[in-house]
């Protein structure tokens, strides 16, 4: 579906500032629709390339009211109207004034031959910098004034005042950023006059005031008396801009207030205040923050416990004399430390996912520190960026990489060799992650077979790769890449599959 900017660019000659003005209007027009109990259609005249082509409007925006049933089941954005079908809109465009009337509505959902429904229409010229850039069509079912409730009558009076502001170019406000939590008309409305005295308070607004601790009748009282911030009110009236503020009562009550000044002929004539009780939302946010802190603390303690186990194993290893036993202890320590690295990252960043690159580099440093001898230096190189992955996947992959790096150092560069280079390459695709560990060392024995290998390290790596990671692991001799230049050593490759998003 085309956006407002796309439609305006394609079918009109409105400039960038005009388009910004229309986007601001759309950004805050749920208030207009709810107050007027009407569907709103924003239309612009189509710029014709042929002078004899009949005039048309194109609908560039639509909003349905939350306070009543919509007139339109179908989406109207992108629909064209001939000038002759909407003479009220043409009158508003040409006279540059508000025009009220009736029209027959048909959105295409009615059966053939049905003439449509007669609805009330208010055509409002949308003006900016002294010119009309669009027309806003208020369309609602016809209702007699006596049939309207007090709430409806008050909302319609405010709606009429905002309509005059749109026609005068005073609405939307130039500096207005409405947040997702901003209150809507259904949350509660207070109407005040130019002296900031309350003239009307909706039932939901009364409930919000009760939550704030104000239980008296608000009508006739100053907005200051209701608990609103004095500075916020004065700022809105003095600068003629909307103000949003959040009022806290104790640790459990939070009410969001949004005040929009009403302007007539350049003078402030009153304000409409929207109230929303956001106590439950703030409580949930505090719970999430507390939960996040708890999860971080758990990861921190797991890391500490793993480091304690690692230290105990190192102490045990110092008491052993058999080389095989000491080596087994050292390998176990490295496996535990690789898992502890994942929990350390989670303890710092929180959440359930980690960037694997932040784990890989400490693993490389650990292997380099524990296995590389000064007489056979080995340079480690990391190529590519690691993806973000779940902590469980990162833990398993960290153990597998630790085993492969350890094998590359011990078997690729045995005592008496001159050292070399180990490259760890990460390649991420939508299907998963491929990690290659390429050493330029001694290479694989001719009779080597990964499936029949009974070494504990490769058994662990193979089991985790096929089980926890849902992927594969292969070891092969390095192959020729360019003419006359042959790579030496071994390439170990792990392929990790990502779960498809449903």
Q: Specify whether 198 is located in the same domain as 344.
A: no
- pLDDT tens, residue by residue, 200-239: 999 999 999 998 889 999 999 998 888 888 788 888 888 8
Q: Specify whether 198 is located in the same domain as 107.
A: no
Q: Is residue 359 included in any domain, yes or no?
A: no
Q: Is residue 367 included in any domain, yes or no?
A: no
Per-residue model confidence (pLDDT) at position 65: 94
Nearest Cα to 169, choosing from 92, 265, 27?
265
- CB 360 within 8 Å of CB 322: no
Alpha carbons 493 and 442: distance in angstroms, whole number: 17
Alpha carbons 453 and 442: distance in angstroms, whole number: 18
Nearest Cα to 300, choosing from 333, 345, 334?
345
DSSP 343-371: HHHHHHH-SSEEEHHHHHHHHHHHHHHHH
H or E element at residue 221: none
Q: Which of these three, 277, 296, 321, is where a domain ends?
A: 277
DSSP 429-498: ETTEEEEEEEE-SS---TT--TTT---HHHHHHHHHHHTTS-SEEEEEE--EEETTEE--SEEEEEEEEP
- pLDDT tens, residue by residue, 297-324: 887 888 888 888 888 888 888 888 888 8
Q: Write phi, then psi, for 248 (nearest 5 degrees).
A: -110, 135
Q: Specify whether 251 is located in the same domain as 390.
A: no
Alpha carbons 371 and 369: distance in angstroms, whole number: 6
Q: Is residue 174 included in any domain, yes or no?
A: no
Find the DSSP H helices in 202-259: 203-211, 230-239
Q: Which of these three, 222, 244, 277, is where a domain ends?
A: 277
Alpha carbons 172 and 28: distance in angstroms, whole number: 7
CA distances from 210 to 182, 186, 216, 244 (A): 19, 17, 9, 20
Alpha carbons 218 and 197: distance in angstroms, whole number: 9
Per-residue model confidence (pLDDT) at position 298: 80
Q: Is residue 179 included in any domain, yes or no?
A: no
Q: Write phi, then psi, for 77 (nearest 5 degrees).
A: -65, 130
Q: Specify whether 231 is located in the same domain as 333.
A: no
Q: Specify whether 8 is located in the same domain as 107.
A: yes
Q: In the chain, count H helices and then E strands.
A: 12, 20
Coil/strand/helix, residue 16: helix
* Buried/exposed 320-345: b ≥16 CB within 10 Å, e otherwise: eeeeeeeeebebbbbbbbbbbbbbbb
Question: Based on the structure, what is the number of domains in the chain?
Answer: 4
Please, which residues have CB within 8 angstroms of residue 211's CB and are 6 or more apart in sequence?
A: 249, 253, 255, 277, 279
Q: Specify whether 440 is located in the same domain as 462.
A: yes
Alpha carbons 188 and 286: distance in angstroms, whole number: 25
Alpha carbons 113 and 303: distance in angstroms, whole number: 74
User: CATH code at 35?
Assistant: 3.30.450.280
Q: Which of these three, 277, 312, 340, is where a domain ends?
A: 277
257: left (phi over 0), alpha (psi -120 to 50) or beta: beta
- Residues forming a β-bridge with 482: 485
Per-residue model confidence (pLDDT) at position 343: 78
Tokens of 471: 């992927």
Q: Specify whether 202 is located in the same domain as 221.
A: yes
Nearest Cα to 227, choosing from 237, 215, 235, 239?
215
What angle, 0 to 180 degrees and rounded to 10, lies between the N-to-C axes of helices 391-412 and 356-371? 30
- CB 232 within 8 Å of CB 258: no
Alpha carbons 493 and 476: distance in angstroms, whole number: 9
In which domain, by residue range, is 476 found? 372-502
Q: Specify whether 257 is located in the same domain as 330.
A: no
Q: Is residue 210 included in any domain, yes or no?
A: yes
User: CATH code at 489?
Assistant: 3.30.565.10
Q: Specify whether 413 is located in the same domain as 316.
A: no
Nearest Cα to 259, choosing from 249, 246, 277?
246
- pLDDT tens, residue by residue, 397-447: 888 888 888 888 888 888 888 888 899 998 888 878 898 999 888 888 877
Q: Specify whether 8 is located in the same domain as 156.
A: yes
Q: Is residue 346 included in any domain, yes or no?
A: yes
Q: Specify whether 97 is located in the same domain as 205.
A: no
Alpha carbons 198 and 222: distance in angstroms, whole number: 6
pLDDT (tens, 9 = 90+) of the chain, 502 residues, equals 578 888 998 889 899 999 999 999 998 899 999 999 999 999 999 987 545 456 899 999 999 999 999 998 889 999 998 998 889 999 999 999 999 998 876 555 555 555 567 899 999 999 998 999 999 999 998 887 777 889 999 999 999 999 999 999 999 988 766 666 789 999 999 999 999 999 999 999 999 999 888 999 999 999 888 888 878 888 888 888 898 888 888 778 889 999 999 999 989 999 999 999 888 888 888 777 777 777 778 878 888 888 888 888 888 888 888 888 888 888 788 888 877 877 777 777 666 788 888 888 888 888 888 888 888 888 999 888 878 888 788 888 888 888 888 888 888 888 888 888 899 998 888 878 898 999 888 888 877 778 777 777 788 888 888 888 888 888 888 864 444 445 678 898 988 887 654 4
Residues in the chain: 502
User: CATH code at 252?
Assistant: 3.30.450.20
Alpha carbons 399 and 121: distance in angstroms, whole number: 69
Q: Write phi, then psi, for 161 (nearest 5 degrees).
A: -70, -40
- CB 137 within 8 Å of CB 40: yes
Q: What is the DSSP letter of 147?
A: G
pTM value is 0.62
- CB 274 within 8 Å of CB 257: yes
Q: Specify whether 189 is located in the same domain as 259.
A: yes
Q: What are the CB-based long-range contacts (under 8 Å, 24+) for 74-77?
A: 74/107, 74/108, 74/109, 75/1, 76/41, 76/107, 77/1, 77/2, 77/7
| Positive or negative: CA dihedral 461, 467, 469, 470 | positive
């Amino acid at each position: 579906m085309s956006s407002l900017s796309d439609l305006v660019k394609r079918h009109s000659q409105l400039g960038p500032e005009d388009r910004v003005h229309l986007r601001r209007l759309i950004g805050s027009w749920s208030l207009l629709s709810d107050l007027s109990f009407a569907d709103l259609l924003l239309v612009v005249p189509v710029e014709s390339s042929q002078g004899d082509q009949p005039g048309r409007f194109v609908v560039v925006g639509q909003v349905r009211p939350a306070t009543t049933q919509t007139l339109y089941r179908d989406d109207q954005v992108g629909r064209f109207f001939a000038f002759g079908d909407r003479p009220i809109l043409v009158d508003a465009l040409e006279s540059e004034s508000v025009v009220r009337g009736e029209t027959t509505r048909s959105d295409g959902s009615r059966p053939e031959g049905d003439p449509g429904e007669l609805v009330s229409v208010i055509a409002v010229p949308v003006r900016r910098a002294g010119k009309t850039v669009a027309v806003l069509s208020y369309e609602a079912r016809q209702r007699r004034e006596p049939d309207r409730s007090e709430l409806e009558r008050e909302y319609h009076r405010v709606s009429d005042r905002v309509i005059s502001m749109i026609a005068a170019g005073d609405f939307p406000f130039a500096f207005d950023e409405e947040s997702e939590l901003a209150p809507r008309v259904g949350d509660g409305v207070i109407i005040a006059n130019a002296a900031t005295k309350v003239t009307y308070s909706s039932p939901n607004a009364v409930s919000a005031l009760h939550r704030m601790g104000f239980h008296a009748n608000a009508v006739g009282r100053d907005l200051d008396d209701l608990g609103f911030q004095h500075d916020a009110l004065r700022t809105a009236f003095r600068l003629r801009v909307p103000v949003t503020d959040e009022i806290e009562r104790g640790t459990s009550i939070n009410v969001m207030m949004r005040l929009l000044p009403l302007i007539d002929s350049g003078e402030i004539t009153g304000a409409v205040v929207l109230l929303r009780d956001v106590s439950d939302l703030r409580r949930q946010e505090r719970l999430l923050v507390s939960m996040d802190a708890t999860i971080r603390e758990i990861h921190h303690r797991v890391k500490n416990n793993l480091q304690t186990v690692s230290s105990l194993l190192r102490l045990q290893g110092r008491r052993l004399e058999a080389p095989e036993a000491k080596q087994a202890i050292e390998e176990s320590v490295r496996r535990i430390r690789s898992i502890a690295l994942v929990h350390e990252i989670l303890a710092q960043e929180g959440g359930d996912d980690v960037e694997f690159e932040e784990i890989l580099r400490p693993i490389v440093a650990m292997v380099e520190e524990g296995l590389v001898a000064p007489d056979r230096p080995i340079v480690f190189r990391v190529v590519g960026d690691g993806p973000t992955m779940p902590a469980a996947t990162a833990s398993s992959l960290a153990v597998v990489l630790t085993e492969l790096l350890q094998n590359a150092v011990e078997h690729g560069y045995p005592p008496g060799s001159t050292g070399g280079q180990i490259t760890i390459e990460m390649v991420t695709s939508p299907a998963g992650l491929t990690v290659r560990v390429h050493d330029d060392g001694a290479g694989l024995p001719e009779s080597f077979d990964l499936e029949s290998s009974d070494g504990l390290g490769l058994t662990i790596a193979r089991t985790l790769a096929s089980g926890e990671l849902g992927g594969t692991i292969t070891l092969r001799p390095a192959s020729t890449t360019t003419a006359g230049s042959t790579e030496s050593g071994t390439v170990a490759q792990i392929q990790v599959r990502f779960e498809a998003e449903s």
